Structure 1
Amino acid sequence: MSSDFEGYEQDFAVLTAEITSKIARVPRLPPDEKKQMVANVEKQLEEAKELLEQMDLEVRDIPPQSRGMYSNRMRSYKQEMGKLETDFRAHLLDNTERLERSSRRLEAGYQIAVETEQIGQEMLENLSHDREKIQRARERLRETDANLGKSSRVLTGMLRRIIQNRILVVVLAIILVVTILTAVTFSVRRH
């Protein structure tokens, strides 16, 4: 009986060593290989459980006085099996968490891109409005400049007329004074 048990023990040791090695490699594999490896490990875990069941049956057939040592070994194998299953789940969870974190980072990046695009759109609209305001202000400045040019020409024309009028008044005053003086001179000569 014990030789069957020891044979199962050896098979169990080889199988658990393979499972441990594969579990350690799972996180570093590319997605398609990872899926295949996970399926392979799950199959081997089932085989290990079946081996434990066979070993358990063998232990039950061992006489009670010799059973204690084998029962202790069985307990440690079952603990090892539990640890393997926990490690395997932990590695799968790690991968899922990594995927979720990457997904969250992608979503955050996308959100930032959308917000940046909206801000850029608003800035473009603001710049467009500012450009229109600047163009309107330029047009008003041109109109004002044109109006100032017209006003300047009108004022220059008015100043010219004022100067002409003053010269005319001075000329008329001189003519009037000359006329009066001539009249006075003739009148004094006659007397």
Structure 2
Amino acid sequence: MSSDFEGYEQDFAVLTAEITSKIGRVPKLSPDEKKQMVANVEKQLEEAKELLEQMDLEVREIPSQSRGMYTSRMRSYKQEMGKLETDFKRSRIAYSDEVRNELLGDDGNSSENQLIKLREERAHLLDNTERLERSSRRLEAGYQIAVETEQIGQEMLENLSHDREKIQRARERLRETDANLGKSSRILTGMLRRRKHYRGKSGGESQDLSLCPAIY
């Protein structure tokens, strides 16, 4: 199980290193080259997400006593993935000085303020997007906790139901035992009464016989 995780882990490391390198090159490319590179990085980011999902599934199959180390590593990889996505978004709106001058041409100085304003607006939108993504992740984590809590609650209810059945069976056996004891007690009481009766009767007969010699 852990060998599969480590295999995905190595693939993830290689892929993220390649993505990091490409993200650093994006601002320096011409518009056409940048478009192609952006599409390529988007595809690789999706592949990296799929690897994370596979790794996450593998971690869930690992016994709980050995899962802690892998859970910590997964948390680190998810943070790395989030940073890559943020860097990629920033690189898409960034331009090197050379590319910016090429795009603006002779009107570079007069249009630079507009470009700066546009970049600020995009950065603002990017920050809003990141906040929404963080909120979404928190909601997802909360939902996962709720699901796990519901599963635990269901298991507890099932255990309580089983315990209730055991208690009910024990009570039934106790009632049966009480009934048997009552029956045995009545039988024993009857036997004792008959024994006393026989003793009293035989005692009277002995007394009558003892009086016979005196009569004669």
TM-score under structure 1 length normalisation: 0.47
Asked if structure 2 preserves the Cα contact closer than 8 Å seen for 1:26 and 1:91, the reply is no
Q: Deviations over 1:88-140 (max 9, x none)?
A: 19799799999999999999999999999999999999999999999999999
Runs of 4+ in 1 over 3 A off after TM superposition: 89-161
Change in Cα spacing, 1:143 to 1:27, as seen in structure 2 (3 Å) is: farther
User: Quick check: 86-95 or 8-17, which moved more?
Assistant: 86-95
Return the alpha-carbon distance in structure 2 between the equivalents of residues 67 and 132 of structure 1. 35
**Unmatched runs of 5 consecutive residues or more in structure 1:** 162-188
Return the alpha-carbon distance in structure 1 between the equivalents of residues 155 and 23 of structure 2. 52
Equivalences, count: 164
**Unmatched runs of 5 consecutive residues or more in structure 2:** 89-121, 198-216
Change in Cα spacing, 1:94 to 1:25, as seen in structure 2 (3 Å) is: farther
Asked if structure 2 preserves the Cα contact closer than 8 Å seen for 1:8 and 1:51, the reply is yes
Change in Cα spacing, 1:42 to 1:102, as seen in structure 2 (3 Å) is: closer
Change in Cα spacing, 1:116 to 1:70, as seen in structure 2 (3 Å) is: closer
Return the alpha-carbon distance in structure 2 between the equivalents of residues 62 and 141 of structure 1. 45
CA apart distance, 1:61: 0.3
TM-score under structure 2 length normalisation: 0.42
Change in Cα spacing, 1:117 to 1:34, as seen in structure 2 (3 Å) is: farther
Return the alpha-carbon distance in structure 1 between the equivalents of residues 176 and 64 of structure 2. 116
Change in Cα spacing, 1:153 to 1:98, as seen in structure 2 (3 Å) is: same
Return the alpha-carbon distance in structure 2 between the equivalents of residues 101 and 81 of structure 1. 13
Q: Percent identity?
A: 95
| 3-state SS, counterpart of residue 190 of structure 1 | helix
Q: Over aligned residue pairs, what C-alpha RMSD do you find? A: 25.8
Return the alpha-carbon distance in structure 2 between the equivalents of residues 63 and 157 of structure 1. 65
Report whether the alignment pairs 1:159 with 2:192: yes
Higher radius of gyration, 1 or 2? 1
User: Quick check: 41-50 or 112-121, which moved more?
Assistant: 112-121
